[in-house]
Every structure is written in C-alpha cells, then in structure tokens.
Structure 1
C-alpha cells in the first residue's frame, strides 16, 4: 500500500470514530507512530488507533487544536 493510501485509511478511521461520538482522550507518541485513545462521550467505550503516517499525525493534531 502506498503511503498516501495508508494516510487515507488512517484518516478515514479517525473521522469514523469522531462521527460516532468519540473524542480524542490521550495521545502517546513513540518512534513507530502515535497511539491515539478515543473515548465515547456518552457510554464511556474506548478505542485505540495506531497512527503510523506523518500526515495522519498532522491531521489529528489539527483536530485537537480546533476543538
């Protein structure tokens, strides 16, 4: 998979969780990417995504700044 396709895949996963009512709760960055923990507003479910591409990391960073 090309890096651009991987970015689109990661961006779609982030957008899907946000549309379902999840919010970014915690970000842990390391050399292999970032682990982003999402928590649902109402029922307190959580989901974790491993974001590997630099563009997807920039994408969720911008979402954090906007909120």
Structure 2
C-alpha cells in the first residue's frame, strides 16, 4: 500500500470519530508515530467513551494537528 493510501485510511478513521462527536483528548508521540486518544462525552451521564488511533504518516499527523488547534479555539 502506498503512503498516500495509508494517509487516506488514517484520515478517514479520524473523520469517522469526529463525525460521531468524539474530540481529541490526548496525544502520545513516539518514533513509530502518534497515538491519538479520542473522547466522547455522554450527554445524559458523567461517562465517556474512548477510542485510540495509531497515526503513522506525516500527513495524518499534520491533519490531526489542525483539528486539535480548531478544537482548542472552539473551546476557548
């Protein structure tokens, strides 16, 4: 699989979580990429759902960085 195809898959996974009301909660970077933890708050309870994606392509890392910046400006 080409790196571009891998980026598209990673972007689609990120977009899927965002469309389902998840927000980026935590990012852990290492030499093998970045682990992005998403959180979805439940409206009726104090509970949350979590999902983690391993991002390996530089383009996908840039993509979630832009989303994180937008998310922070919306919350401010």
Tell me the TM-score range normalised by the shorter chain. over 0.9
Measure how far apart 1:16 and its partner are.
0.1
In the alignment, the residues of structure 2 paired with residue 28 and residue 5 of structure 1 have an alpha-carbon distance, to the nearest angstrom, of 23
Which has the higher Rg, Structure 1 or Structure 2? 2
Gaps of 5+ in 1: none
> TM-score, normalised on structure 2?
0.85
**Segments of 4+ moved more than 6 angstroms:** none
Gaps of 5+ in 2: 72-76
> Higher mean Cα deviation, 42-51 or 52-61?
42-51
Q: Once the two structures are superposed, what CA deviation does each residue of 1:38-67 show, in whole Å capped at 9, x if it has no partner?
A: 011215010000000000000000001112
> TM-score, normalised on structure 1?
0.96
- Alpha carbon RMSD of aligned pairs, Å? 0.8
